[in-house]
Structure 1
Amino acid sequence: MSIRDIVEGKKQWRAHMARVKALPPDYRIVYKEMQTYLFKVGPLDLPDGPLLPGIVDFFEGGAATGKGVLELIGNDVAAFCDDLIKESPTRADALRESIGGRSNPAEQ
């Protein structure tokens, strides 16, 4: 990864976060919760993938129509996030694979 890639990535992230800050307060709160959850359990390509910008697009559309954020996603934010990533390889999957790839010392 070159320095240009790093700088470009930071520019894109700042632009993304500026869009988040422009959302209504209830949308920002839910977005931050979703972001925290997804960074813990989410897909491996989360920082560079289309998921987070897609969520902002979805929220911008909902805010433009005057809907509350919970009207869009429901009351269970984690379940909504899980539905978004159900087909993506996650950090948990990578961890399970790495643990499963090693021999268990207790079995030897």
Structure 2
Amino acid sequence: MSIQDIIEGKKQWRAHVARVKALPPDYQIVYKEMQKYLFKVGPVSLSDGPLLPGIVDFFEEGVAAGKGVLELIGTDVAAFCDDLIKDCPTYADAYQASISGEPGGARK
């Protein structure tokens, strides 16, 4: 990874954060809770994938339609996030594969 890639990544992240800050306060709160949960659960492609920008797109559409954030995702934020990443490999999956002795994993 070159310095130019790092700089470009920071620019993209700052633009993403600016989009989040432009959302109404209730959307921002829910987004931050979703982000915190997703960083904990750890989908492998979270940092460079389309998941977080896709959530912001979805929220921006909800704002434009005049809907509240809980109308869009429901009251269980974790369940909504789990549904978003149900088909994505997580770091926990990779770790489990490495200790179970599956092909490609390290054996103990």
TM-score, structure 2 length as denominator? 0.92
Between the aligned partners of 2:53 and 2:79, the Cα distance in structure 1 is: 19
1:89-100 aligned at under 5 Å gives the runs 89-100=89-100
Deviation for aligned residue 1:98: 2.1
Secondary structure of the structure 1 residue equivalent to 2:75: coil
Instruction: Determine the structure 2 residue equivalent to 1:9.
Output: 9
1:95 and 1:63 map into 2 onto residues whose CA distance is 38
* Unpaired segments ≥5 residues, structure 2: 102-106
Matched residue, 2:104 = none
Structure showing greater relative contact order (alpha-carbon pairs closer than 8 Å, 6 or more residues apart): 1
Corresponding residue of 1:106? none
Q: 4+ runs of 1 displaced by more than 3 Å?
A: none
**Partner SS for 1:5:** helix
1:50-92 Cα deviation digits (max 9, x unpaired): 0000000000000111111000000000000000000010111
- State the match for 1:34 in structure 2: 34
- Corresponding pairs, count: 103
Could you say which structure has the higher helix fraction?
Answer: 1
Paired letter, 2:78: A
1:53 has 2:63 as partner: no
Counterpart amino acid of 2:11?
Answer: K
CA contact (8 A) 1:27 1:59 kept: yes
1:65 partnered with 2:49: no
Identity over aligned residues, as a percent? 81
2:45 is paired with a residue of what secondary structure?
Answer: coil
Partner AA of 2:35 in structure 1: Q
What RMSD, in angstroms, separates the aligned Cα atoms of the two structures? 0.8
Bigger mean CA deviation after superposition, 37-46 or 11-20: 37-46
Determine the C-alpha separation between the residues in 1 that align with 2:38 and 2:15.
19
Alpha-carbon distance in 2 for matches of 1:66, 1:41 = 31
- Structure 1 gaps of 5+ residues are 104-108
Cα separation, 1, equivalents of 2:20 and 2:6: 21
